[in-house]
Amino acid sequence: MAKQLYNQPSPLETRVVSKNFVIEGSETLDVYLANDGYKAFRKAKEMTPEAIIEEVKTSGLRGRGGAGFPTGLKWSFVPRTSPKPRVIVVNADESEPGTCKDRLLMEYDPHQLIEGILIAGLAVDAHKGYIYIRGEYRYLIDSMDRAIDEAYAKGYLGNNVAGTGFQFDLCTHSGAGAYECGEETALLDSIEGKRGIPRMKPPFPAVAGAWALPTLLNNVETFSAIPPIIRDGGPAFAALGTPKNGGTRLVCISGHVNKPGVYELPLGFPMLKAIYEVAGGIPGGKKLKAVVPGGSSCPILRAEECDIPMDYDTLAKVGSMLGSGGMVVLDETTDMVRFALRIMKFYAHESCGWCIPCREGTTWLKKILQRFYEGQGRREDISMLGELSKNMLGRTFCALGDAAALPTISIVEKFTEDFEAYLARQEVLV
Amino acid sequence: MADLVKLTIDGREIQAEKGKLLIEVARQNGIEVPAFCYHEDYTLQAACRMCLVEIEKTPKLQVGCTTPVAEGMVVRTDSDLVRKSRKGMVEFLLTNHPLDCPVCDKGGECELQDMTFRYGAGESRFVERKIHTDEKQWSPVVYFDAPRCILCYRCVRACNEGMGVGALGVGNRGAISEIVPNHGDHLECDECGLCIDICPVGALTSGAYRYQTRPWEMEHVGTICTHCADGCKTTLGVRNDEIIRGNNRDRSGINNEFLCVKGRYAFDFTKHPERLQSPMMRTEKGYEPISWSKALEVVAGRFASVKARGGKFGVIGSNHTTNEENFFLAKFARQGLGTNNIDHHRTGDLAAFFDALSGKTGALATTGDVYSAKAVLVVGADLAQQHPFLSFQARANFRHHQAHIYAVTTGPVREDNQAVASVRIEKGGEVAGVESLREKLKAEGDLVIVFGDSVQGESLRKLVAFGDSLGIPVKYVCLVDYSNSRGAFDMGVLPRDGGLSREQMLAATDLDVLWVVGANPLKGAELASKSAFVVVQDLFMTATAKQADIVLPAASAYEKSGTVTNVCGEVQRLKQAIKVMGTKTDLEIFGQIAKEMGLNLGIWLPDKVFEEIRKNVHGYGVSPALLAMGPVPTMPLNGHVAALPGAIQSSGDTLFTSGSLTPYSEILNNVMEAPGRLYGGQGQ
């Protein structure tokens, strides 16, 4: 095929949500309609809202943004009979380091996302939607706007969606460069025009979200999975994965691999197979040292811990997370001190500053790691890194504090030898 | 009676109202839960994480300031884990906080110091470079040092929610977050200084108090502010007989932490170099200082001779002097001088007000009622300018209780931001404007009506009749200006029984004596009688004093004891903070003149005079013990109140002016907002 994608597809993929990527013109409505487009919406229009939600529950779909909360359950929390109008918000703030899948879904299959949003609208009786796209994705905001315009022009948004009488309005909203605005309540504050600071929960967004309206908020990939689920049924989707971890997900494999890229793999796919067969193994035949399983906010895994299936429950059992699907492969040449510093710089920069432990903690950790990396480290710094991270863990206002603390604790504990090596070098130089 | 729940904190069984915040319940039971960002008057933040406590059956530590208590909750505030968490939080906070204690004004009353001593580590583990920015000055009275700021956001909330001004916000992000003022590099606001006193550390400091002393070197005297009629308690910090600062951090009195720029800063008139410190007599060469004995001799002598030949006296009393002084002066005029020609600058039509309320009980609103009523109607007044504490109370009522606010004014007022309905009127259209809100007001649970001087005489009676007709409980506040206008009225500094009003005295060509106490009637007005003997008691050489024959230096309200009555009729005690050499209190001057004249008007000590007031002034039969503890409401005169001659007119002061004191307060003159009005424009 002539279409140039960001990476070559792999024969080991199970293409459900990315099945249209390879088709020329997949981002246009005509091509989408010619490839099962809006079959799911028409089917859902004939279902009751309860039936739609039940189908999503059966599919075992869990939030693809990172937290992995059961999607059907989340949809059932939105009070359909509230006197206040309900609102759909799509979290396209994709900022978790290592993650680059939502951009592909918006670039190659925007109409699938729109169809997913519409079905969600049917499920919770919502008629307004907002797609919050991170400001750095300037070109995607434009391309998403083009897709929305096309949908309006051809009657797939507005007062009479696909001739069914359903009314729905959709628009994009630009972020302004904050990772924290991927946190659902900070995103809602940002959409309202305020500083991107997270909110206290309760109340939860399902009950009081954007402008205090009941809000259904999910990740781009989660919404994109809805049309296939409704079209082919929940059980079919569930069967692709493992029990309680249904379906497939887009895995972003980067780092020391021969074929980095985004690959759609069923939940439960073995991690080592993903690295060596899907992503073509490590260049130069070097040894695997560590893997970041699902975005930098997850505890890191040593090579010997990576012989596991990739699903939410297994990753949780080994003390990490499936997270956002941003898998980073690190080979034996990786300096874990430098890696820890790099991600801590990110967290310190992105901390919103609201609460003491995250604001001061990430800054302090960054400074210690910087000093350590520059060769001025002390033995007590190693234990201090772990202690300070534990002083942050679970005590911050939102999960960013945990996102900074967890990887740091795991790197210090699992790769103490890298830190020791620095100290040994310093002694020699002195 | 709300539902009670039983819970356990640190092994103690405690009963509390269901749904109350855990931090409140703990504190009320003597269990300390530290917090920086939590403040019971403002929105919850859960930002500082100091109040994290252990709650059984929850995996993570929970935030005490947002957790409501529930039946059977088991809480530990003193476990090892909680101690470790607090120590960790203080440690984090101290990483970027500069070790400025030796040069920081807050030292000795700093909450971070207290927390560090109680919960922190003895030594720091931080060996990195701290983030530094230079200190900034945002206004003559507000300095901001960003490195010291712990980002508790109390100042932002106090300014936005409490004051309704919103001059402070947060800029940047993460560890370089900073509080920013509304004009980028400076503040344009009420200059109330609430941000400074509510700041737990030395990030926001007072430009007026800077580097002058340490808190433990001062004696703190709680007295009543001498400016507007709201009667806020101001705690004056005194060192070496000089007032160094004012605030209300101990939250005493009716006003909690609230003070406006005048209550907090405008005490500096007491030490102005032009303060009169010696009696003065007019001679051909100008004013010459004379001794007290000589001055009293001259005054008493003239008074006695005018009295002996049946001459005409005119006495103009003050809106600032104490109840004791007003009572004594009224007695002096009537009994001592045999005249009913006594008056003061009346700024509200209290006579018509009390007359209209005849026979009613419970119709006077206290400042507390403005905070707790279900609805508040403001008529013809810009509270934020002239009665900032009442404005604060109404706004707090809206924030805490969702009270319904209504405004009927000639221009925009700050209350518009919270109002259910705002009606713009022309002057004179107050009653019609209020009438247009009848349907909405009828549906309220109860109502407090606050009205300004444009409602007087006939329109005042109509307003009270309107209130009666609503069929709901209605209370009233008749606004007057200056710290003891109510007291001047209640004590009878009034031209009753055919006495001359203030204007009439000035116009009387046959006036023999004009005795002016703490007032400035000859500013912009002529004295018709060119041969009148003019005696003036005041703090400065005002326009009136410059026409006096004898000028007597008086003590200000911060230099004497006694009582004052605020705009809502609440009596409060003054406590002397300092003494200025050469001055005497007005009461002492009255007593000395009386003695010199051989009159027996009673003992001129404030306590003794107050005893007489209790017995003789209707509504002032208050218990001295109660009065010692706080404000006591007085009751209006019951029964018909005769109309009085003379005009009623508000002083027209703003937040940055205070009658004749304005020129002598450097603070009021240095702030960039003086003498104009920031908010409300023309609202009155």
Cβ neighbour number for residue B680 with a 10 Å cutoff: 22
pLDDT at B667 over 90: no
Tokens found for residue B42: 């403002």
Closest CA to A361 of A306, A400, A418, A303: A400
Nearest residue in B to A361, CA atom = B92
SS3 A168: strand
Question: B282 - beta bridge partners?
Answer: B287
Treating both helix axes as pointing N-terminal to C-terminal, what angle do A416-429 and A379-392 enclose, rounded to 10 degrees? 150
Decide if A367 and B128 are in contact by the 8 Å CB cutoff: yes
pLDDT at B536 over 90: yes
pLDDT mean over B472-489: 94
Interface check A203 vs B, CB under 8 A: no
B-chain residues near A355 (CB < 8 A)? 46-49
pLDDT digit string, tens, across residues B427-475:
999 999 999 999 999 999 999 999 999 999 999 999 999 999 999 999 9
Decide if B52 and A395 are in contact by the 8 Å CB cutoff: yes
DSSP B588-612: HHHHHHHHHHT-------HHHHHHH
Decide if B175 and A353 are in contact by the 8 Å CB cutoff: yes
Interface check B131 vs A, CB under 8 A: yes
CB distance B193 to B265 below 8 Å? yes
Cβ within 8 Å of residue A387, ≥6 positions away: none
Decide if B49 and A351 are in contact by the 8 Å CB cutoff: no
Nearest residue in A to B149, CA atom = A356
Interface check B88 vs A, CB under 8 A: yes
A 390-409 residues with CB < 8 A to B: 391, 394-397
Cβ within 8 Å of residue A240, ≥6 positions away: A14, A16, A246, A247, A248, A266, A267
ipTM, interface predicted TM-score of the complex: 0.91
* Higher-confidence position of B646 and A148: A148
Of B85, B95, B150, the CB nearest to A364: B95
Model confidence at B632, in pLDDT bands (50, 70, 90)? Answer: confident
A-chain residues near B126 (CB < 8 A)? 364
CA distance A102 to A112: 12
Predicted pLDDT at B28: 95
Decide if A371 and B128 are in contact by the 8 Å CB cutoff: yes
Q: Tens digit of pLDDT per residue, chain A (430 long)?
A: 568 899 999 999 999 999 999 999 999 999 999 999 999 999 999 999 999 999 999 999 999 999 999 999 999 999 988 999 999 999 999 999 999 999 999 999 999 999 999 999 999 999 999 999 999 999 999 999 999 999 999 999 999 999 999 999 999 999 999 999 999 999 999 999 999 999 999 899 999 999 999 999 999 999 999 999 999 999 999 999 999 898 999 999 999 999 999 999 999 999 999 999 999 999 999 999 999 999 999 999 999 999 999 999 999 999 999 999 999 999 999 999 999 999 999 999 999 999 999 999 999 999 999 999 999 999 999 999 999 999 999 999 999 999 999 999 999 999 999 999 999 998 876 6
Decide if B151 and A359 are in contact by the 8 Å CB cutoff: yes
Interface check B123 vs A, CB under 8 A: no
Nearest chain B Cα distance for residue A380, angstroms: 10
Nearest residue in B to A362, CA atom = B175
Interface check A178 vs B, CB under 8 A: yes
B/e letters for B337-363, b = 16+ CB within 10 Å, e = fewer, are bebbbbbbbbbbbbbbbbbbbeebeeb
Predicted pLDDT at B663: 85
A 371-390 residues with CB < 8 A to B: 371, 384, 388
Predicted pLDDT at A430: 62
Of B46, B91, B173, the CB nearest to A352: B173
Question: A328 - beta bridge partners?
Answer: A254, A292
Nearest chain B Cα distance for residue A352, angstroms: 5
CA distance A289 to A301: 9
pLDDT digit string, tens, across residues B400-422:
999 999 999 999 999 999 999 99
Tokens found for residue B682: 């023309």
Decide if A362 and B175 are in contact by the 8 Å CB cutoff: yes
Model confidence at B679, in pLDDT bands (50, 70, 90)? Answer: very low
CA distance B463 to B353: 10
DSSP state of A200: -
Nearest residue in A to B90, CA atom = A356
pLDDT at B148 over 70: yes
Interface test with A, best of B37, B61, B87, B89 (most A CBs within 10 A): B89
Query: Of all residues in chain B, what percent carry a pLDDT higher than 90?
Result: 86
pLDDT at B341 over 90: yes
Name the one residue in this structure whose structure tokens are 């003050």.
B318
Nearest chain B Cα distance for residue A355, angstroms: 4
A-chain residues near B128 (CB < 8 A)? 364, 367-368, 371
CA distance A119 to A216: 12
DSSP state of B91: H
CA angle centred on B596, ends B593 and B601, rounded to 5°: 65
Tokens found for residue B48: 């500082």
Of A200, A352, A364, the CB nearest to B174: A352
pLDDT digit string, tens, across residues B172-211:
999 999 999 999 999 999 999 999 999 999 999 999 999 9
A-chain residues near B175 (CB < 8 A)? 348, 351, 353, 359-360, 362-363
Dihedral angle computed from the Cα positions of residues A102, A105, A110 and A115, in that order, rounded to the nearest 10 degrees? -90
CA distance A145 to B161: 39
Predicted pLDDT at B682: 39
Predicted pLDDT at A199: 96
B-chain residues near A373 (CB < 8 A)? none
Model confidence at B640, in pLDDT bands (50, 70, 90)? Answer: low
Interface check B177 vs A, CB under 8 A: yes
Interface check A364 vs B, CB under 8 A: yes
- Count residue pairs from A and B with Cβ separation < 8 A: 89
pLDDT mean over B484-509: 94
DSSP state of B271: G
Name the E strands within B366-437. 375-379, 404-409, 419-424
Nearest chain B Cα distance for residue A184, angstroms: 18
Predicted pLDDT at B683: 38
Torsion region of A261: left, alpha or beta (phi above 0 gives left; psi -120 to 50 gives alpha)? left
CA distance B66 to B105: 32
